[in-house]
Amino acid sequence: MSLLEVRDLNVWFDLQQGGELHAVQGVSFGLDAGERFGLVGESGCGKTTTILALMGLLPPIASVAGEVWLEGENILERGESTMSPHRWRDVAMVFQGAMNAFNPVKRVGEQIAEPMALHGVAEGAAAKRQVGELLELVGIPAARADRYPHEFSGGMRQRAAIAMALACKPKVLLADEPTTALDVMVQAQILELLVSLSNDFGLALVLVTHDLPVVAQVCERAAVMYAGELVESGPTEALFHTPRHPYTRLLFAATPDLYGEEEVASIPGTPPRLDRPLTGCPFRPRCDRAFGRCEKARPALKPVADRHAAACHLNDVPQQVPA
Amino acid sequence: MSAAGSGNGDAPLLEVEGLVTRYPLPRGAIGVFARAPQRYVHAVEGVSFTVRRGEMLALVGESGCGKTTTAQSVLRLVRSDAGAIRFQGTDITTLPSKQLRSLRRRMQIIYQDPYESLDPRFRVRATVEEPLLVHGLGSKDDRRREVEEALRLTGLDPPELFLDRYPHELSGGQRQRVAIAASLVLHPELLVADEPVSMLDVSVRAGILGILDDLRRRGLGILMITHDLSTAARFADRIAVMYLGRIVEEGPAREVVDNPKHPYTKALLSVVPKRDPRQTTRPEILRGETPNPVDVPPGCRFHPRCPIAGEECKATDPELRVPAGAGPAHTVACIKA
């Protein structure tokens, strides 16, 4: 069994005007220690909601169903009572924009020590020593613990945010767009740090981003999300070279590459609204290969190759050209 | 859209020479009393480039390198301290504000964030018509035609579908199209695009860049500010790489990407993630961060982070020149290149 196993996760939000929005629709994936898994898709596809559900940090208007197995225990089983012992201690998260969320009037070191005290990991001198170690681990001199957030550059604040998430030595780190607001050189430094954390300490990493090249270079496996569901998952190499869902292919084609010669094309249309039931394939209106069946039946995520699954009817059609 | 501009026919659309823009640092009360010397943020320190009609120049670099200040100086949104800005052969560096008004019709800017650059209370029709009203152009019918034509040019076709919508009824990509349309109604000859797609979803970016590409083909000169080298490589004719207020390398886009000569450009290119997981390059990650533009290092400003810097680099401030093994019109500011 994997370190983390998500099974058939569903999230609904109650809407003010009545009705519900089905933000996450039957998402399943697994993760081993030291593995780096990417979750990619456009804004609003449910990536962030998915990982917030794994942390039990969704607002009260959300209802969650499904199973989240952590080392053989379903931490979603009894809501907060089974979730809270693991939050930050086993599963931690770096929020989008975390580098800008430090309290400006408190020293960085004190803020990193807070979760340690809160979860009874360390206090006082021991906490101070561990804060120093954590800072060094993410590439910041330990002496900087006494500085204030404004004395840090953006890249250093992002490192500090990662250090804070690692305060209770979690096994799984969920990182939401950890490099989105950063320059390409600082992005490279942060990605290098995340890779070394997983390689050297066996940290399992879920990297949530809209940036396909980042996932291609950092993660061994990834899943593409669309309209709340996983439409394709597999090794990143397979997703790029032999995509089995048109959305995956079109997303890569919409991403300019430094050395790519082919036409960069946007994907026409917009994702469907999730506050009403979907019939047929959610991607059909934007798909360049849709056919009769796509309108009637919603395709399920099915294995198409070794560790590679896709939710597209084209994969059932014999002698088809790969999507 | 007519490409032929007025004024000096042969001169490049935009010529910038030795541009310097500094921002004074506040000294504070103590500093003033103690007669501390006035210090400056050296945002742009001697930048020269040209943009021709039908050409897209991408100004690339990390935050704080001075690319946005350069664009703002060109548009006379900030006052520059030295250098010359010539628009169609006319020096506009010190043009009085009265004459700036007619100039601004001919050079327009689109901003990064279409969620903030559109007035939420204005319908699309009003947003796109506004510049015409400000400049007192055209009859009511003329303006209606101009607005519809601009919307068509940006792919919001048929215009009737969009004219009466509010920004909140539009997607991010559609909002950016409206912002571009609002700049096109004035028939500008130069368009400055400041990170035009970085706030947008990947799936719609190519559409916006395609519009800019189309406008370029129609004869507009485009100055694109971006931190995204892949976008610059794919869409720009020329790339100028900025570091700490200077252009350190400039040339045809493909040439700069395929045959970079400056160590900073090489490092930047090496850390751009590639789409293909099999294409693993060895990233050459520069340590530390760009120095503060208040205390610019002496000699070559890149030398403290440069992997090949020698003693001479601490003393010589290199000028842009054509290095050995470079293609035509490719210049680099490095004495070791």
Looking at the complex, does the CB of residue A185 fall below 8 Å from at least one CB of chain B?
Answer: yes
Across the interface, do A241 and B276 touch by the CB < 8 Å criterion? yes
Mean pLDDT of all residues in B194-210 = 91
**The A73-74 sheet, strands edge to edge:** A20-31, A4-14, A62-70, A73-74
Give residue-wise pLDDT tens across range A163-187: 999 999 999 999 999 998 888 998 9
What band does A319 get if pLDDT is binned at 50, 70 and 90?
Answer: low
The distance of B56 to chain A (nearest Cα, Å) reads: 17
**Cα(B99)–Cα(A127) distance, integer angstroms:** 64
Q: What pLDDT score was predicted for residue B99?
A: 86
Contacts of B259 in chain A (CB under 8 A): none
Minimum-distance CB partner of A258 among B205, B229, B283:
B229
- Domain-embedded: residue A213: yes
- Domain-embedded: residue A273: no
Give residue-wise pLDDT tens across range A76-96: 999 899 999 999 999 999 999
Pair B283, B271: CB distance under 8 Å? yes
User: What domains sit in chain B, N to C, each tagged with a CATH number?
Assistant: 14-332 (3.40.50.300)
- Domain-embedded: residue A148: no
List the single residue in A with minimal CA-CA distance to B62.
Answer: A183
Average pLDDT, rounded, for chain A: 93
- Domain-embedded: residue A321: no
List the single residue in A with minimal CA-CA distance to B264.
Answer: A185
Across the interface, do B274 and A213 touch by the CB < 8 Å criterion? yes
> Is a pLDDT exceeding 80 seen at residue B290?
no
Pair A38, A221: CB distance under 8 Å? yes
| pTM for the structure as a whole | 0.90
**Cα(B75)–Cα(B70) distance, integer angstroms:** 9
Buried/exposed A253-288: b ≥16 CB within 10 Å, e otherwise: bbbbbbbbeeebebbeebbbebeeebebbbbbebbe
Give residue-wise pLDDT tens across range B132-186: 999 999 999 999 999 999 999 999 989 999 999 999 999 889 999 999 999 999 9
Across the interface, do A257 and B283 touch by the CB < 8 Å criterion? no
What's the 3-state SS for chain B?
Answer: CCCCCCCCCCCCCEEEEEEEEEEECCCHHHHHHCCCCCCEEEEEEEEEEEECCCCEEEEECCCCCCHHHHHHHHCCCCCCCEEEEEECCEECCCCCHHHHHHHHHHEEEECCCCCCCCCCCCCHHHHHHHHHHHCCCCCHHHHHHHHHHHHHHCCCCCHHHCCCCCHHHCCHHHHHHHHHHHHHCCCCCEEEEECCCCCCCHHHHHHHHHHHHHHHHCCCEEEEEECCHHHHHHHCCEEEEEECCEEEEEEEHHHHHHCCCCHHHHHHHHCCCCCCCCCCCCCCCCCCCCCCCCCCCCCCCCHHHCCCCCHHHHHCCCCCECCCCCCCCCEECCCCC
- Domain-embedded: residue A189: yes
Q: Half-sphere exposure of residue B91, counting CA atoms within 13 Å on the CB side?
A: 7
The distance of B230 to chain A (nearest Cα, Å) reads: 4
Contacts of B268 in chain A (CB under 8 A): 184-185
Q: What pLDDT score was predicted for residue A323?
A: 55
Pair B197, B231: CB distance under 8 Å? yes
Contacts of A186 in chain B (CB under 8 A): 62, 289
Specify the range with the lowest mean pLDDT, choosing from A5-9, A22-26, A274-278, A311-315. Answer: A274-278
Residue with the bigger pLDDT between A20 and B282: it is: A20
Minimum-distance CB partner of A264 among B234, B280, B286:
B234
> Is a pLDDT exceeding 90 seen at residue B301?
yes
Q: What pLDDT score was predicted for residue A188?
A: 92
Please state the length of chain B.
337
Q: What pLDDT score was predicted for residue B293?
A: 87
Minimum-distance CB partner of A216 among B208, B258, B277:
B277
List the single residue in A with minimal CA-CA distance to B274.
Answer: A213
Helices B172-184, B124-134: crossing angle, 10 deg rounding:
20
Beta bridge partners of B243: B246
Give residue-wise pLDDT tens across range A183-219: 899 899 999 999 999 999 999 999 999 999 999 999 9
Across the interface, do B202 and A155 touch by the CB < 8 Å criterion? no
What band does A306 get if pLDDT is binned at 50, 70 and 90?
Answer: very high
Looking at the complex, does the CB of residue A61 fall below 8 Å from at least one CB of chain B?
Answer: no
> Is a pLDDT exceeding 80 seen at residue A273?
yes
> Is a pLDDT exceeding 80 seen at residue A71?
yes
The distance of A134 to chain B (nearest Cα, Å) reads: 19
Mean pLDDT of all residues in B299-311 = 94
> Is a pLDDT exceeding 60 seen at residue A320?
no
Mean pLDDT of all residues in B201-225 = 94
Q: At CB < 8 Å, which residues of chain B contact A?
A: 62-63, 171, 173, 201-210, 227-231, 233-235, 257-258, 267-269, 271-278, 280, 283, 285-286, 289
Upstream peptide bond of B158 is cis (omega within 30 degrees of 0): yes
Across the interface, do A256 and B273 touch by the CB < 8 Å criterion? no
Minimum-distance CB partner of A251 among B203, B230, B233:
B203
The distance of A104 to chain B (nearest Cα, Å) reads: 21
The distance of B284 to chain A (nearest Cα, Å) reads: 9
Range of the domain at A21: 4-90+170-239
Which CATH number do you get for residue A212? 3.40.50.300
Contacts of A185 in chain B (CB under 8 A): 62, 267-268, 271, 285-286, 289
Minimum-distance CB partner of B289 among A186, A240, A251:
A186
Count: domains in chain A: 1
Comparing C-alpha atoms, which of A244, A254, A199, A197 is closest to residue A223?
A244
The distance of A51 to chain B (nearest Cα, Å) reads: 20
Looking at the complex, does the CB of residue A272 fall below 8 Å from at least one CB of chain B?
Answer: no
Please state the length of chain A.
323
- Domain-embedded: residue A73: yes
CB atoms within 10 A of CB A294: 20
Q: What pLDDT score was predicted for residue B6?
A: 46
- Domain-embedded: residue A154: no
- The rounded percent of chain A whose pLDDT value lies above 90 is 84
Comparing C-alpha atoms, which of B88, B75, B66, B84 is closest to residue B8?
B88
What band does A322 get if pLDDT is binned at 50, 70 and 90?
Answer: low
- Domain-embedded: residue A55: yes
Q: What pLDDT score was predicted for residue A11?
A: 97
Give residue-wise pLDDT tens across range A232-250: 999 999 999 999 999 999 9
Mean pLDDT of all residues in B294-308 = 92
**Cα(B290)–Cα(B223) distance, integer angstroms:** 24
Give the mutation candidate from A96, A153, A184 for the B interface (greatest B CB count, under 10 A): A184
Q: Which of residues 213-252 of A touch B (CB under 8 A)?
A: 213-214, 216-218, 236-237, 240-241, 250-252
Minimum-distance CB partner of B203 among A42, A191, A216:
A42
Q: What pLDDT score was predicted for residue A108?
A: 96
Give the mutation candidate from B170, B175, B203 for the A interface (greatest A CB count, under 10 A): B203
Pair A224, A40: CB distance under 8 Å? yes
Give residue-wise pLDDT tens across range B237-281: 999 999 999 999 999 999 999 999 999 999 999 999 999 999 877
The SS3 call for residue A82 is helix
What band does B29 get if pLDDT is binned at 50, 70 and 90?
Answer: confident
Mean pLDDT of all residues in A46-59 = 95
The distance of A239 to chain B (nearest Cα, Å) reads: 9
